[in-house]
Amino acid sequence: MRSFPFTADVYFSLFDTYNDTIWPAQLVAYGLGILAVFLTLRPVATAGRIAFAILSAFWLWNGVVYHLLHFFEINFAALGFAALFTLQGLLFAAIAIGGKRCFRFQPDILGWSGMFFCLFALLAYPLLGWMAGHGWPRAAAFGVAPAPTVIFTFGMLVMLEGRVPLYLALIPLLWSLAAGSAAVFLLRIPEDWSVLLAGVVGFGLVACKRRQQATSRSS
């Protein structure tokens, strides 16, 4: 049975309209994403605050503008996703306001993995979409569409300095499993295999980092 309320064609048509409506927000989102990655390489005093504010802006935008104002038109489940994305955005905003956490790229396996996730979201995901026939303007653009945003978030979380709060990775995990599996198995969107994998591997890396830090602390 294909009990899913819309087709892949309609899904990408929605992006067509959405991208047209929000232009040039996509360019701003790319700029902010590049800035967040840059800040993991060159940490300055307020780097953590700025990077968390960027993540917060991405998630709040996806919750309100994408899910509530656009995706809800074709999928009633978008209401639930809107609430979850907004909650995640508020969590990031709270940490940004607290100003005590920052992201830092470390040249180890976890650091390179995090960087890979970020660059994948910025560069590889749109390329895969284009190769699958979902290029601009029917593309899920970085920062303003959930798939690349979630992949990017996992990358940033893996590069978070100190212990990563598990609650920060829960909503990205839930979304990547739910939306990723629907996209891959029901809508047959090949590039969204990466969303599904990012959820599983990204959450695994966050858990691995927590364990690594717990071990080093106890020793």
Partner 1 sequence: MNSLTRRRFVGSIATLGATVALPALGQGPASGANLKKAIPSTGEQLPAIGLGTWITFNVGSNEKLRAVRAQVMQSFFDRGGRLIDSSPMYGSSEAVIGYGLAHVKNRGALFSAGKVWTPFKPLGINQMENSRKLWGVERFDLMQIHNLVDWSTHIETLKAMKAQGRVRYIGITTSQGWRHGDLERVMRSEPIDFVAFSYNVVDREVEERLLPLAAERGIAVIINRPFQEGVLIERLMHHPLPPWAVEIDCANWAQFLLKFIISHPAVTCAIPATRRVDHLEENMGAMRGRQPDTKMRARMTRYVETV
- Residues at the contact surface with partner 1, assessed by CB under 8 A: 1-7, 10, 13-14, 16-17, 73-76
Query: How is residue 161 annotated by DSSP?
Result: S
> Residues 173, 150: contact at Cβ < 8 Å?
no
Alpha helices in the chain (DSSP H): 8-22, 25-41, 47-61, 78-98, 109-119, 125-131, 146-158, 167-181, 193-218
- C-beta neighbour count of 128 within 10 angstroms: 17
Residue 20: strand, helix, or coil: helix
Give min distance, CB of 23 to partner 1, in A.
Answer: 17
With respect to partner 1, which residue has the nearer C-beta, 141 or 187? 187
With respect to partner 1, which residue has the nearer C-beta, 79 or 207? 79
Give min distance, CB of 13 to partner 1, in A.
Answer: 5
Give min distance, CB of 17 to partner 1, in A.
Answer: 6
Phi, psi of 70 (to 5 degrees): -125, -60
Give min distance, CB of 25 to partner 1, in A.
Answer: 19
Give min distance, CB of 137 to partner 1, in A.
Answer: 12
With respect to partner 1, which residue has the nearer C-beta, 6 or 116? 6
With respect to partner 1, which residue has the nearer C-beta, 76 or 167? 76
What is the distance between the alpha carbons of residues 156 and 163, in angstroms, rounded to a whole number?
13
Q: Which residues pair with 160 in a beta bridge?
A: 103
With respect to partner 1, which residue has the nearer C-beta, 70 or 101? 70
Q: Which residues pair with 103 in a beta bridge?
A: 160
With respect to partner 1, which residue has the nearer C-beta, 72 or 116? 72
> Residues 211, 27: contact at Cβ < 8 Å?
no
Give min distance, CB of 73 to partner 1, in A.
Answer: 5
**Closest C-alpha to 152, from 163, 162, 140:** 140
